[in-house]
Amino acid sequence: MNGIIPLYKERGMTSHDCVNRLRKILHQKKVGHSGTLDPSVDGVLPICVGSATKVVDYLLTHRKVYRGSVTLGFSTETEDLDGAEVARKVLTEPVTDETIDAVLQTLTGDLQQTPPMYSAVKVNGRKLYEYARKHQTVERPVRTIHVTRFDRLAPSTFDTDAGTQTFTFEVECSKGTYVRTLAVQAGEALGIPSVMSTLTRIESGGFKLDETLSLDQIQDAVDRDDLSFLQPLDRALDDYPEITLTTPLWRGVQNGVWLLQREVNSDAPIVALRYDNEIKALYKLVDHKYKPLKMFSTK
């Protein structure tokens, strides 16, 4: 069994929970996800099965798109609603939507971001949340991320009784971006403690939310011996131009030979080699020759 499953991850489950459940449903040990989603976040979680686990790294290069909400007026230790409150500032009047928009625009492009303490980023072999749970401090690595757009979706709402204000957003960003940290950064720019109050990933690995299936739907399909939910590993490689191989060239590729540029008839830095209606390998251009970069199948 080989392919990619565009899974809908429900809130309350870890990404690892989803992998374990799928291993049992599919009776398959070789299962892996492409990009962790926090338990409080739902949405698109591409899952690779069998030989498709070889394309996990390529799925991660695709853009990620999220929709969610930010609440201004308080902050938590986890930067979302799962953690204990650490700061509060009662708002007596709302921030204008125009001011919010201006701040969100400053949080686009290449940005420096420090991952939250309650995250799975490893420092000295331990995950940051392990330090956080023991109230230990540790220097966190600063990452460069890229935010393509960060847009408010609708008029914000002001809660007079609670002294808080909430706005919805959509953000398109690179891998490694912590959207809850973006929510905190937006509040910092406004001078107001803030928190990510909801989040859904609506696109990841080239898959969109309307393509996803729940774990229960996958279980039902397997019970009917219907594996049509498995997507080909080609879906992870659509950024690369495809070259259809002749049988003689395929025999060479099976043995890892380099190909002349004129044989491939391309000047692309990386090409996907297709034979028998299946992408078999990625080859990289080096000095007018294409050399193997990643083999997916030699059969």
State the catalytic residues: 38
Number of H helices, E strands in the chain: 8, 19
- Please state the length of the chain: 299
* Residue with the two structure tokens 């709402």: 157
SS3 assignment, position 296: coil
Q: Where are the alpha helices (DSSP H) in the chain?
A: 15-26, 56-59, 97-106, 128-133, 179-190, 215-223, 247-254, 261-264
Q: How far apart are CA 264 and CA 284, in angstroms?
A: 11
Number of Cβ atoms within 10 Å of the Cβ of 26 = 20
Q: Which residue has the tokens 């959207």?
A: 179
Q: Is 34 exposed, middle or buried (0-12, 13-18, 19+ CB in 10 A)?
A: buried
Q: Return the SS3 of 93.
A: coil
Q: Are 178 and 51 in contact (CB under 8 A)?
A: no
71: which strand partners?
166, 195
For 237-275, give one letter per residue: b (16+ CB within 10 A) or e. beebeebebeeebbeebbeeeebeeebbebeeebbbbbb
Q: Which DSSP letter does residue 22 get?
A: H
Q: Which two tokens stand for residue 256?
A: 């890892």
